[in-house]
């Protein structure tokens, strides 16, 4: 296992403006009902946990077409989940997003969709 390095300031700054993180802020759920709508429910779970040396393109592509992508990423960031692909992000991408997420919290259920 390799040790995850701390994200650099410019990576955290970029994460603040990442459209995936912005969507997660807009769609942060206040319950787990989004889980039943995930596209991954009909896909082998291993697809979303590729070995660190393997590309995650297939999983990320599936996530990008998922209707609950924002809620999924918000849940992963709330949980601090460092494994697998969630909300079209890899663990490496989420490290910087996690710092941005924690530095700029959004209330649970503060969805712009009402």
Rounded CA separation 89/91 (Å): 7
Give the separation between CA 112 and CA 82, rounded to whole angstroms. 27
Helix ranges (DSSP H) in the chain: 9-16, 19-26, 57-64, 69-79, 91-103
Q: Is 104 left (phi over 0), alpha (psi -120 to 50) or beta?
A: beta
101 binds ligand SF4 (CB under 6 A): no
Compute how many other C-beta atoms are within 10 angstroms of the C-beta atom of residue 72: 26
Query: Is residue 38 a contact residue for ligand SF4 (CB under 6 A)?
Result: yes
Q: Of the candidates 87, 91, 93, 97, which one interacts with ligand SF4 according to CB under 6 A?
A: 87
> Binding to ligand SF4 (CB under 6 A): which residues in 45-64?
48, 62-63
The stretch among 19-27, 65-73, 91-99, 101-109 that binds ligand SF4 (CB under 6 A) is 65-73
DSSP 109: T
Stretch that binds ligand SF4, among 19-27, 66-74, 91-99, 102-110 (CB under 6 A): 66-74
Minimum distance of ligand SF4 from residue 35's CB (angstroms): 7
User: In the complex, what is the shortest distance from the CB of residue 38 to ligand SF4, in angstroms, rounded to a whole number?
Assistant: 3
- Binding positions for ligand SF4, rule: CB under 6 A: 38-40, 48, 62-63, 66, 68-69, 72, 86-87
């Amino acid at each position: 296992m390799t040790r995850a390095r701390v994200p650099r300031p410019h990576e955290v700054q970029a994460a603040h403006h990442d459209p995936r993180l912005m969507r997660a802020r807009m769609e942060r759920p206040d319950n787990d009902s989004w889980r039943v709508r995930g596209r991954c429910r009909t896909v082998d779970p291993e697809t979303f946990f590729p070995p660190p040396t393997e590309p995650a393109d297939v999983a990320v592509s599936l996530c990008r077409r998922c209707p609950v992508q924002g809620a999924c990423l918000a849940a992963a960031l709330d949980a601090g989940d460092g494994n697998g692909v969630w909300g079209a992000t890899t663990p490496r991408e989420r490290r910087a997003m996690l710092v941005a997420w924690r530095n700029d919290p959004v209330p649970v259920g503060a969805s712009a969709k009402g």
